[in-house]
Structure 1
Amino acid sequence: MTPDALARTHAEAFTDQRPWTAAEFANLLSSPHVFVVGDADSFALGRVIAGEAELLTLATAPAAQGQGKGRDTLRAYHQAASTRGAQDGFLEVAETNRVAIRLYQSEGYSQTAKRTNYYRLTNGQRVAALILNRPF
């Protein structure tokens, strides 16, 4: 997937937060530690360093939501991260993103920390980021 395609899907999926730009995706993908799995409907962008995987973002286009694409993409991300040597992983998710939180918890993630007022929503509201971890 190109940075432009990633940015389009991200913008469709994240309407309550500032979506990432194609330039931001290109910058992240220039790192040898960063990888992407999925397709234009659903993708995950991650980074593996020193045996730890960070899920940078997972985005599923609204037209593809509710069909298991996000779960399939998350599982593909886990497999790709494990192949790259990850033994455990973490992610941040807005405390208001209940659908994502349920998905992550159903795939073995549990909350280990909370960053108060971390995200600024497009309406100006600030919400906490939950830090979730799981072994691979």
Structure 2
Amino acid sequence: MIEPVFRPMTEADVEAVLAIEFAAFSHPWTRGIFLDCVTSGHECWLMFLGDQQVGHGVLSAAGDESHLLNLTVKPANQSNGLGGKLLAHLMQRGKERGAETAFLEVRESNHPAIYLYERFGFNEIGRRRDYYPAVGGREDALVMAYSLID
């Protein structure tokens, strides 16, 4: 498989990002959320295989903490290791910004993502009740943490 390449997301990329976001999630992020992340200085990255955009991720980093806000791989490209490569890239960016710990929330029903995070080394540290909108109501989030210190 071709190794993915990463480049920073810009405002001009948001339409292509939204196409992947809407294909991947029942409750996708909005244009406004992505624009806010890009303009606020978060780590916003695109992942490409050749010239095809196959994923994106957003990480906030402040002080000694980082927070994985979004990690999305195009549905047609899932289950082949790209999520782990995107996650590794974002964790490296967090380390470079001085973060010692990374946190994230994940839907409790998103078993493939939970498996990815656990394989990477994240541990469940809590739960946020009714955190996510869901079809017919709300869904809990698992809170996970990962040490960025070698």
With normalisation by structure 2, the TM-score equals: 0.83
Q: Any conservation in 1 of the 2:37–2:44 contact (CA below 8 Å)?
A: no
Equivalences for 1:1-136 in 2 at 5 Å? 1=9, 2-15=13-26, 18-32=27-41, 34-39=42-47, 40-121=53-134, 123-136=135-148
Q: Which moved more, 1:48-57 or 1:36-45?
A: 36-45
Aligned residues: 132
Q: Any conservation in 2 of the 1:38–1:76 contact (CA below 8 Å)?
A: no
* Pairwise CA distance, 1:22: 1.8
What is the identity percentage for the equivalent residue pairs of Structure 1 and Structure 2?
Answer: 31
Query: Who wins on radius of gyration, i.e. which is larger?
Result: 2
Take 2:140 and 2:33, find their aligned partners in 1: how far apart are those partners? Answer: 22
| One-letter identity of the residue aligned with 1:38 | L
Q: Any conservation in 1 of the 2:60–2:67 contact (CA below 8 Å)?
A: yes
Q: What runs of 5+ residues in structure 1 fail to find an aligned partner? A: none
* Pairwise CA distance, 1:107: 0.6
| One-letter identity of the residue aligned with 1:53 | S
The alignment yields a C-alpha RMSD, in angstroms, of 1.2
Q: Any conservation in 1 of the 2:128–2:140 contact (CA below 8 Å)?
A: yes
Runs of 4+ more than 3 Å apart: none
